[in-house]
Structure 1
Amino acid sequence: MSFKSIKLFEFNWDHVEGAIYYRLQENPDGASGFSQIGSDIQYEAGSYILEVPLHSRVNAQYILQACNNHGCSNSDILAVNDPLIDSIGYLKSSDSTEGEYFGGSIALSGDGNTLAVGAPGELLRTENSNPPGTVYIFTRNNLNWTEQASLQASNADKGDYFGHSISLSNDGNKLAIGAHRENSSATGINGDQGNSSFNSFGFGAVYLFSRTSNTWTQQVYIKPSNSDLDDAFGYSVSLSGDGKTLAVGARGEDSSSSGINGDQTSNDHSKSGAVYIFNYNKSNWKQQAYIKAGNTGPNSQFGRSVSLSNDGNTLAVSAPFESSGAKGINSFLPSYSAASSGAVYIFTRPETTWTQQSHIKASNSDKYDLFGSAIHLSSDASTLAVGAIGERSFATGINGNQENNDALDYTGAVYIFVQTNADWVQQSYLKAHNTELNYANGGDIFGFSVSLSENGDTLAVGALGEDSHASGINGDEQDNNAQDSGAIYIYTRSNTTWSKGAYIKSSTTEKNDEFSHSVSLSADGNTLVVGAPGEDSNATGIGGDKKNNGNPNSGAVFIY
């Protein structure tokens, strides 16, 4: 067995005399037993290529059977005892440049065959030299990845941060791109894109692109109904599975209204935040709703993250700087007794009208936890993952001691909530199994990014500040010689019980790579994509030289 290209295991053998065909048997985790992979293999083949989800094959075992009419004989067991570095995909843009921040955002289609990568071009560059941002499209065909397109805004301008947020429809044919510092004061759909009379940034815009055959075109240019300076419209975006419902977060919006479709003109609550829903009907996009928190408060940044269900009828919105002292579900406390503890809100659309269903806080909600730093709602809206990067427990693993706040810095946590009959309950409290605070380097920032599979049974969690120098899968977690290199942790659920999965690093770990800044799982959970916008290689394209650090912060994406 050898490791061949992205997510591929290659099996080679000499023909066994008397064999008519062969069978490949797999024991995926080394414990659940062997079963046949694929159909029978013709005897003259001599090789077989198997595509696998790397994050769940680190303990896999394989047997090749040589078979004829009298039965089958087994080869020795082939065991995976390898960090699988050679099978990890490594993607750069075709025109990789310093400060591009490629991988700052990523979105994977449901089938895992279309990948959008944002390169907002924002890091460590002056405003005058800041490029306008680009989104790159990659597609997989016959197990091979290729770059299909590079997209820019129709009114591209420096410092717009085009590509800071992106979201794909299930089939990968619709793409929403946020540019939260776009500076036109236009409002509504397809307004005046050239209206940039304000010598400032932060109004924000969203661009919708569509793909026909292999050609991408900009379909629509979207602004909110109350576009205003520093609203950061487009800081977060989420498309429904069919691409016909779009949620857009504007974390800097200042209205003091609350609930659905309130007064948009009052700017009395600075950075309270808002979310806008747009709906596609009869060939037109229209704003359907203007959504505020039920307990709107200044500086809550409601809309910092948004996540829609597959059908577009359930919406999760985070407000990581919400400061109420409540804990648990629907326990409203209007006081500001827990600064920046954070909250998540659930909204539903039974038909065409949106209503707030739930207000969710952590079971151990505390000041500065930033609950809602990242969120992801499963496709069927039954499971919600919430990151809280400021949580300070020294607990490790699953359902540890939530009340121990001895870490004093951003170790971080992730909370799992499940919905039954419109009621949400907290199901699990997750920490890294190597929770650590390196007082020289700061916390691990576990929960900076999260992604669920379609059914919510597989979860990937990013820890942006994790410091291990390991590479590949299940390496040495204790070697903290790569500050802020970042890591991904996989968790899986069986019935209602969560278990620890793989510990994942890039194939070329170095300090400040920001690996796990963005993460996305395919619907079936079998493809994992991770962005590392701080990666420094001057390689271009797919599978280039990872070791040359000639392009600081050019960024990279890794596929597992």
Structure 2
Amino acid sequence: MALVATVVSAQAKILTFAWPAVPAATHYKLMKNPDGGSGFSQVGSNIVSVTVDETIPVHLHDWNNAMYTIDACDALDACISSSVLTTTSLMLNAIGYFKPTNPTANHQMGLRTVMSSDGKVVAVGTNTNEGFVYVFRWSAGPGWTQDTVIQPNKFQYSMAMSGDGNTLALGTSSNSILIYKYTTSWALDETVVSSGSPITFGLRVALSRDGTTLAVGDNNFTGTKGAVYVYRDNGTSWPQLGGDLSASDFAGDTATAASFGQAVALSDNGNTLGVGAIYADTVSVNDAGKAYVYRWSGSVWNEEAILEESDSGSNKRFGSALGFADDGNTLAVGRNSQGGSGSAYVFRFSGTWSQQGGPLVATSGDGEGLGTTIAISSDGNTLVTGSVFEDGSGTGINPPADSFASSAGAAYVFSFSAGNWIQSAYVKSRYTEAGDALGVSVAMSADGQTIGIGSYLDDSNTTGINSTPNDDGSTNQSGALYIY
């Protein structure tokens, strides 16, 4: 019995292994040494065909060191191994590059990105008066396909998606939130409007993972001070849950809370609310920014905490992006410092809220604009944050850092392990070009194994999944989405 050859190829998030049949073999095993040093172990169950796919987290895979073999085994489970296979050369092919079926100049697809908990449904927003939303869906067999295009015919401020991928909330320029639901197709289910006099109602929206609670930010209400509103689906309508919220609800908060509602986030069950106020003053610093935490008691929203960064400074824009872990006891906060490198922060609740570790900053690349967007896994131990003005010209995962592609953009993945947050990936696009603004939006599956990153100024005129870009000037700023 001999196994003489193995072929490995890649597509979006998938490595495919294939080999010729071995006559004496009754089954095969895919064996993996994830880091080149911890030894080989079996991936999945025994294989009876001569091909197998492995779905991988592209951003966490060790492209330089991971090794594979295919073991051919007889009925007694006596096995021989193929030669060792590496995957370094397949990294870029494993990054999904998504374009719409009709790329159009200045549509800027990727300006907003949201994802279902399992990472198999992704909605991508545009910067158009029609408010086009492209929905991509993964299913066994065809893999990733463009599922539909939602056209609300209203300019779109923001988006949020439920965990099952079947509810989509769109904040629009008409001071209304459009709730779409999916059964066999997407259809408008409800329109939520404010009972007051909003200015930018819907600038930011968040949905609980169960899709029944909606938070809406209006960062310009009452002269840029801002307000937040929460609604809950009762099966027939979306009545407001509690009263209007503003920073003045917090007793003793003497600082001006400007742009309250610039970011909003909800826990899994919708009973914990986070609000960012990027121009809030602290006692000693103007425009430092704050994040506010509320808990729903069953009848009112109780103010629980005001969070500030440990290294506060003016114009730091702390609170520019927020993300809750499922239980509402871990909150990630972005700070996209105006005109410089940004940072992210993680706060944990255990009786009181406290910052976990120091600021999360880029250890490769310049990190400019880091903290603009943020997403965190359901267990609160993996986060991704966009660095939309980062200047590196590299491609893929953890390339050498430089500054040769102005505002090409990047994203950074951080992981919590052994009591510390560490940078686990410096993420660039498959096709890096100056000005593409990768990282303007980010989304993450509940397990942290799939991330989507918007590149809204991508210029290619190609269509579909994993096309080869062609920048002929006809579709400048048509935008793109990358899946890792």
User: Structure 1: any 5+ residue segments left out of the alignment?
Assistant: 122-130, 183-203, 255-269, 326-336, 392-408, 437-442
Residue 167 of structure 2 corresponds to 174
Change (3 A) 1:3 1:235: farther
| Distance of 1:323 and 1:423 partners within structure 2 | 20
Render the CA deviation track for 1:503-552: whole Å, top value 9, x for unaligned. 11111110110100000110111111000001111122322331324311
Where does 1:152-163 land on structure 2 (aligned, <5 Å)?
A: 152-153=151-152, 156-157=153-154, 161-162=155-156
Q: Which residue of 1 aligns with 2:10?
A: 4
Structure 1 352/370 Cα, relative in aligned 2: closer, same or farther at 3 Å? same
C-alpha displacement of 1:83? 6.4
Match of residue 414, structure 1, among 339, 344, 354: 344
* CA distance, structure 2, for counterparts of residue 352 and residue 25 of structure 1: 54
Q: Secondary structure at the match of 1:416?
A: strand
Q: Out of 36, 40, 44, which is 2:46 matched to?
A: 40
Identity of aligned residues (%): 34
Could you report, residue by residue, the CA deviation over 1:6-53 in whole angstroms, capped at 9, with x for unpaired residues? Answer: 1111112233353221101122333443321111111xx322221111
Deviations 1:141-170 (A, max 9, x none): 0161111221122xx25xxx32x3111111
Q: Mean Cα displacement is larger for which, 459-468 or 61-70?
A: 61-70
Q: Does 1:369 align with 2:321?
A: no
- 1: CA distance between counterparts of 2:264 and 2:411? 21
| Structure 2 counterpart SS, 1:82 | helix
Q: What is residue 145 of structure 1 aligned with on the other side? A: 144
Q: Deviations over 1:296-354 (max 9, x none)?
A: 865710000101000101011100110113xxxxxxxxxxx412100000010132321
Q: CA separation of 1:504/1:19 partners in 2, compared to 1, >3 Å: closer, same or farther? A: same
Higher relative contact order (CA 8 A, sep 6+): 2
Change (3 A) 1:296 1:379: farther
Aligned to 2:220: 252
1:529 to 448, 452, 462: 452
Tell me, what secondary structure is at the counterpart of 2:22?
Answer: coil
- Counterpart Cα distance in 2 of 1:521 and 1:28: 22
Q: Distance in 2 between matches of 1:227 and 1:71?
A: 74
Change (3 A) 1:237 1:73: same
Give me the whole-angstrom Cα distance separating, in 2, the residues matched to 1:461 and 1:489: 5
Q: Secondary structure at the match of 1:449?
A: strand
Give the Cα–Cα distance (whole angstroms) in 2 for the partners of residues 286 and 275 of structure 1: 14
The residue number in structure 1 matching 2:94 is: 87
Report the residue type matching 2:294 in the other structure: F
Distance in 2 separating the partners of 1:533 and 1:304 = 20
CA RMSD, aligned part only? 1.8
User: Equivalents in 1 of 2:440, 2:171: separation in Å?
Assistant: 17
Q: Distance in 1 between matches of 2:388 and 2:378?
A: 24
Q: What's the secondary structure of 1:517's corresponding residue? A: strand
State whether residues 364 and 426 of structure 2, in contact with CA within 8 Å, keep that contact through their aligned partners in structure 1.
no
Match of residue 382 from structure 2: 458
Which of 280, 287, 292 is residue 322 of structure 1 equivalent to?
A: 280
- Provide the residue aligned with 2:244 in structure 1: 290
CA distance in 1 between partners of 2:449 and 2:352 (Å): 29
Check conservation: 1:272, 1:297, Cα contact below 8 A: no
Aligned counterpart in structure 1 of residue 422 of structure 2, from 475, 496, 499: 499
Question: Are 2:107 and 1:100 aligned?
Answer: yes
Candidates 383, 405, 411, aligned match of 2:330: 383
Letter in 2 for 1:4: A
Matched, 1:544 2:467: yes
In the alignment, what sits opposite 2:3? none
Contact 2:145 2:465 in 1 (8 A): yes
After TM superposition, give the deviation of residue 251 of structure 1 in Å: 0.6
Give the drift of 1:495.
4.4
Query: Would the aligned equivalents of 2:114 and 2:161 in 1 still touch at CA under 8 Å?
Result: yes
- Could you list the runs of 5+ residues in structure 2 that have no partner in the other structure? 1-6
Amino acid in structure 1 at the alignment position of 2:164: D
- What's the CA shift for 1:435? 5.4
TM-score by length of 1: 0.80
Aligned to 1:404: none
How far apart, CA to CA, are the structure 2 residues paired with 1:503 and 1:79? Answer: 21
- Partner residue of 2:431? 508
